[in-house]
Structure 1
Amino acid sequence: MTALQQPLAPEQRTLIRDELLRSLTKLERSMAANGAAARPRDLEQDTVGRLSRIEALQSQGLTATLAAREKVQLEQIVAALRRLEEGSYGICNGCGAAIPVERLMIFPETLACSTCACS
Protein backbone atom coordinates (compact mmCIF):
# COMPACT_ATOMS: atom_id res chain seq x y z
CA MET A 1 0.00 0.00 0.00
CA THR A 2 1.44 3.37 -0.95
CA ALA A 3 1.29 6.47 1.23
CA LEU A 4 -1.27 7.98 -1.14
CA GLN A 5 -3.79 5.18 -0.66
CA GLN A 6 -6.31 5.66 2.13
CA PRO A 7 -6.22 2.69 4.54
CA LEU A 8 -9.21 4.10 6.46
CA ALA A 9 -12.86 4.36 5.55
CA PRO A 10 -14.24 7.93 5.54
CA GLU A 11 -16.21 7.38 8.76
CA GLN A 12 -13.07 6.03 10.47
CA ARG A 13 -11.11 9.08 9.32
CA THR A 14 -13.84 11.31 10.76
CA LEU A 15 -13.81 9.46 14.10
CA ILE A 16 -10.03 9.69 14.36
CA ARG A 17 -9.97 13.35 13.30
CA ASP A 18 -12.60 14.14 15.95
CA GLU A 19 -10.58 12.28 18.59
CA LEU A 20 -7.39 14.11 17.61
CA LEU A 21 -9.19 17.46 17.75
CA ARG A 22 -10.65 16.61 21.19
CA SER A 23 -7.19 15.65 22.42
CA LEU A 24 -5.75 18.86 20.98
CA THR A 25 -8.37 21.02 22.71
CA LYS A 26 -7.88 19.22 26.03
CA LEU A 27 -4.11 19.53 25.76
CA GLU A 28 -4.25 23.25 24.91
CA ARG A 29 -6.44 23.85 27.99
CA SER A 30 -4.04 21.88 30.17
CA MET A 31 -1.05 23.78 28.80
CA ALA A 32 -2.75 27.11 29.47
CA ALA A 33 -3.63 26.10 33.03
CA ASN A 34 -0.15 24.79 33.74
CA GLY A 35 1.55 27.82 32.19
CA ALA A 36 0.99 29.93 35.27
CA ALA A 37 2.41 27.23 37.54
CA ALA A 38 5.59 27.07 35.46
CA ARG A 39 6.56 30.69 36.12
CA PRO A 40 9.54 31.12 38.45
CA ARG A 41 8.71 31.98 42.04
CA ASP A 42 10.48 34.29 44.43
CA LEU A 43 12.19 31.96 46.87
CA GLU A 44 13.94 34.41 49.18
CA GLN A 45 15.06 33.07 52.53
CA ASP A 46 13.02 35.68 54.43
CA THR A 47 9.65 34.90 52.85
CA VAL A 48 9.58 31.10 52.69
CA GLY A 49 10.79 28.38 55.04
CA ARG A 50 13.42 25.89 53.93
CA LEU A 51 10.99 22.99 53.37
CA SER A 52 8.56 25.23 51.52
CA ARG A 53 11.36 26.33 49.20
CA ILE A 54 12.28 22.70 48.51
CA GLU A 55 8.65 21.84 47.81
CA ALA A 56 8.33 24.87 45.52
CA LEU A 57 11.46 23.85 43.59
CA GLN A 58 10.19 20.27 43.25
CA SER A 59 6.83 21.55 42.06
CA GLN A 60 8.53 23.77 39.47
CA GLY A 61 10.56 20.79 38.26
CA LEU A 62 7.46 18.62 37.91
CA THR A 63 5.61 21.42 36.12
CA ALA A 64 8.52 21.88 33.71
CA THR A 65 8.56 18.14 32.97
CA LEU A 66 4.81 18.16 32.37
CA ALA A 67 5.14 21.16 30.06
CA ALA A 68 7.84 19.38 28.03
CA ARG A 69 5.68 16.26 27.70
CA GLU A 70 2.67 18.31 26.69
CA LYS A 71 4.72 20.10 24.05
CA VAL A 72 5.82 16.80 22.53
CA GLN A 73 2.25 15.47 22.62
CA LEU A 74 0.99 18.65 20.97
CA GLU A 75 3.53 18.27 18.17
CA GLN A 76 2.50 14.62 17.69
CA ILE A 77 -1.20 15.49 17.47
CA VAL A 78 -0.61 18.34 15.02
CA ALA A 79 1.58 16.05 12.89
CA ALA A 80 -1.11 13.34 12.92
CA LEU A 81 -3.73 15.86 11.78
CA ARG A 82 -1.38 16.99 9.02
CA ARG A 83 -0.83 13.38 7.88
CA LEU A 84 -4.58 12.83 7.95
CA GLU A 85 -5.10 15.80 5.61
CA GLU A 86 -2.20 14.80 3.34
CA GLY A 87 -3.44 11.23 3.02
CA SER A 88 -0.43 9.54 4.59
CA TYR A 89 -2.11 8.90 7.94
CA GLY A 90 -2.30 5.27 9.06
CA ILE A 91 0.80 4.15 7.17
CA CYS A 92 3.59 2.66 9.30
CA ASN A 93 6.84 4.60 9.06
CA GLY A 94 8.79 1.39 9.67
CA CYS A 95 7.38 -1.17 7.22
CA GLY A 96 4.99 0.91 5.09
CA ALA A 97 1.99 -1.31 5.87
CA ALA A 98 -1.38 0.00 7.01
CA ILE A 99 -1.59 0.46 10.78
CA PRO A 100 -4.61 -1.45 12.13
CA VAL A 101 -7.61 0.78 12.83
CA GLU A 102 -7.83 -0.60 16.38
CA ARG A 103 -4.33 0.72 17.12
CA LEU A 104 -5.12 4.08 15.54
CA MET A 105 -8.25 4.42 17.69
CA ILE A 106 -6.20 3.86 20.86
CA PHE A 107 -3.07 5.76 19.78
CA PRO A 108 -4.27 8.16 17.06
CA GLU A 109 -0.91 9.95 16.89
CA THR A 110 1.10 6.75 16.33
CA LEU A 111 3.61 6.53 13.50
CA ALA A 112 4.13 2.75 13.54
CA CYS A 113 2.29 -0.53 13.63
CA SER A 114 2.65 -2.55 16.82
CA THR A 115 5.31 -4.81 15.29
CA CYS A 116 7.57 -1.89 14.28
CA ALA A 117 6.85 0.04 17.49
CA CYS A 118 8.05 -2.89 19.61
CA SER A 119 11.24 -3.51 17.66
Structure 2
Amino acid sequence: MTAVEQMLAPAQREMIREELLRSLGKLERSLKAAGAAARPRDLEQDTVGRLSRVEALQNAGFTKNLEAREQAQLEQIVAALHRLEDGSYGACNGCGAPIPFERLSIFPETLACSACTRGC
Protein backbone atom coordinates (compact mmCIF):
# COMPACT_ATOMS: atom_id res chain seq x y z
CA MET A 1 0.00 0.00 0.00
CA THR A 2 1.39 3.41 -0.96
CA ALA A 3 1.68 6.37 1.41
CA VAL A 4 -1.15 8.08 -0.46
CA GLU A 5 -3.39 5.03 -0.14
CA GLN A 6 -2.68 4.90 3.58
CA MET A 7 -3.87 8.52 3.93
CA LEU A 8 -7.36 7.58 2.72
CA ALA A 9 -9.42 5.20 4.81
CA PRO A 10 -11.14 2.38 2.90
CA ALA A 11 -14.53 4.04 3.51
CA GLN A 12 -13.19 7.31 2.06
CA ARG A 13 -11.81 5.53 -1.01
CA GLU A 14 -15.16 3.81 -1.52
CA MET A 15 -17.05 7.09 -1.13
CA ILE A 16 -14.83 8.71 -3.78
CA ARG A 17 -15.19 5.69 -6.09
CA GLU A 18 -18.99 5.86 -5.79
CA GLU A 19 -18.99 9.60 -6.51
CA LEU A 20 -16.75 9.11 -9.56
CA LEU A 21 -19.00 6.32 -10.86
CA ARG A 22 -22.12 8.43 -10.26
CA SER A 23 -20.56 11.35 -12.17
CA LEU A 24 -19.44 9.02 -14.94
CA GLY A 25 -22.97 7.67 -15.40
CA LYS A 26 -24.43 11.18 -15.43
CA LEU A 27 -21.96 12.35 -18.07
CA GLU A 28 -22.49 9.28 -20.23
CA ARG A 29 -26.27 9.88 -20.19
CA SER A 30 -25.78 13.58 -20.95
CA LEU A 31 -23.41 12.87 -23.84
CA LYS A 32 -25.83 10.34 -25.28
CA ALA A 33 -28.69 12.87 -25.10
CA ALA A 34 -26.50 15.63 -26.56
CA GLY A 35 -25.50 13.37 -29.42
CA ALA A 36 -29.14 12.82 -30.32
CA ALA A 37 -29.89 16.55 -30.06
CA ALA A 38 -26.90 17.49 -32.23
CA ARG A 39 -28.03 15.57 -35.29
CA PRO A 40 -28.02 17.75 -38.41
CA ARG A 41 -31.31 19.44 -39.17
CA ASP A 42 -32.75 20.57 -42.47
CA LEU A 43 -32.38 24.33 -42.53
CA GLU A 44 -34.16 25.10 -45.79
CA GLN A 45 -34.90 28.80 -46.31
CA ASP A 46 -38.55 28.20 -47.09
CA THR A 47 -39.22 26.05 -43.98
CA VAL A 48 -37.36 28.06 -41.36
CA GLY A 49 -37.02 31.82 -41.05
CA ARG A 50 -33.62 33.45 -41.17
CA LEU A 51 -33.47 34.19 -37.41
CA SER A 52 -34.63 30.69 -36.58
CA ARG A 53 -31.81 29.27 -38.69
CA VAL A 54 -29.27 31.47 -36.90
CA GLU A 55 -30.66 30.35 -33.54
CA ALA A 56 -30.51 26.72 -34.63
CA LEU A 57 -26.87 27.13 -35.70
CA GLN A 58 -26.01 28.87 -32.40
CA ASN A 59 -27.70 26.14 -30.41
CA ALA A 60 -25.78 23.52 -32.36
CA GLY A 61 -22.55 25.36 -31.51
CA PHE A 62 -23.45 25.55 -27.82
CA THR A 63 -24.32 21.87 -27.81
CA LYS A 64 -21.01 21.01 -29.44
CA ASN A 65 -19.06 23.07 -26.87
CA LEU A 66 -20.95 21.50 -23.99
CA GLU A 67 -20.30 18.05 -25.42
CA ALA A 68 -16.56 18.80 -25.68
CA ARG A 69 -16.44 19.96 -22.02
CA GLU A 70 -18.39 16.92 -20.86
CA GLN A 71 -16.14 14.59 -22.87
CA ALA A 72 -13.05 16.14 -21.25
CA GLN A 73 -14.60 15.75 -17.79
CA LEU A 74 -15.51 12.15 -18.58
CA GLU A 75 -11.89 11.44 -19.51
CA GLN A 76 -10.72 13.01 -16.22
CA ILE A 77 -13.12 10.81 -14.25
CA VAL A 78 -12.03 7.65 -16.06
CA ALA A 79 -8.39 8.57 -15.38
CA ALA A 80 -9.21 9.12 -11.68
CA LEU A 81 -10.85 5.68 -11.51
CA HIS A 82 -7.70 4.16 -13.06
CA ARG A 83 -5.55 5.95 -10.48
CA LEU A 84 -7.78 4.55 -7.72
CA GLU A 85 -7.16 1.06 -9.09
CA ASP A 86 -3.39 1.39 -9.53
CA GLY A 87 -2.80 3.05 -6.14
CA SER A 88 -1.64 6.44 -7.41
CA TYR A 89 -4.91 8.23 -6.65
CA GLY A 90 -4.64 11.18 -4.29
CA ALA A 91 -1.02 12.12 -5.00
CA CYS A 92 -0.46 15.65 -6.30
CA ASN A 93 1.04 15.71 -9.78
CA GLY A 94 2.86 18.93 -8.90
CA CYS A 95 4.56 18.28 -5.58
CA GLY A 96 3.81 14.60 -4.98
CA ALA A 97 2.22 15.23 -1.58
CA PRO A 98 -1.06 13.58 -0.65
CA ILE A 99 -4.12 15.63 -1.61
CA PRO A 100 -6.35 16.15 1.45
CA PHE A 101 -9.55 14.09 1.54
CA GLU A 102 -11.63 17.26 1.82
CA ARG A 103 -10.37 18.42 -1.58
CA LEU A 104 -10.78 14.98 -3.12
CA SER A 105 -14.36 14.75 -1.88
CA ILE A 106 -15.20 18.04 -3.63
CA PHE A 107 -13.07 17.50 -6.76
CA PRO A 108 -12.59 13.72 -6.96
CA GLU A 109 -10.98 13.92 -10.41
CA THR A 110 -8.36 16.51 -9.32
CA LEU A 111 -4.70 15.95 -10.11
CA ALA A 112 -3.21 18.59 -7.81
CA CYS A 113 -3.36 19.90 -4.28
CA SER A 114 -4.79 23.36 -3.76
CA ALA A 115 -1.32 24.94 -3.40
CA CYS A 116 -0.13 23.57 -6.75
CA THR A 117 -3.44 24.51 -8.39
CA ARG A 118 -2.93 28.10 -7.26
CA GLY A 119 0.65 27.99 -8.52
CA CYS A 120 2.26 28.58 -5.15
Deviates more, 1:25-34 or 1:99-108: 25-34
Alignment partner, residue 11 of structure 1: 11
Q: Supply the distance in 2 between the matched residues of 1:65 and 1:38 (Cα, whole angstroms).
A: 11
Task: Quote the offset at 1:42 in angstroms.
Answer: 1.4
Q: Which runs of 5+ in 2 are unaligned?
A: none
Number of aligned residue pairs? 117
Q: After TM superposition, where is structure 1 displaced by more than 3 Å over at least 4 residues in a row? A: none
* Structure 2 Cα separation of the partners of residues 111 and 74 of structure 1: 14
Matching residue of 1:45: 45
Separation of aligned partners in 1, 2:87 and 2:27: 24
TM-score when normalising by structure 1? 0.95
* Deviation, structure 1 residue 44: 1.4
TM-score by length of 2: 0.94
Unaligned runs of 5+ in 1: none
Identity of matched residues, %: 73
Deviations 1:52-74 (A, max 9, x none): 00110010000000100010000
* Counterpart for residue 66 of structure 1: 66
Give, in angstroms, the shift of residue 46 of structure 1: 1.4
Q: CA RMSD in A?
A: 1.1
Q: Which position in structure 2 is the counterpart of 1:84?
A: 84
How far 1:4 moved relative to its partner? 3.2
Partner in structure 1 of residue 102 of structure 2: 102
Aligned equivalents of 2:92 and 2:102: distance in 1? 14
CA distance in structure 1 between the aligned counterparts of 2:38 and 2:100, rounded to whole angstroms: 38
Distance in 2 (CA, whole Å) between partners of 1:39 and 1:25 is 22
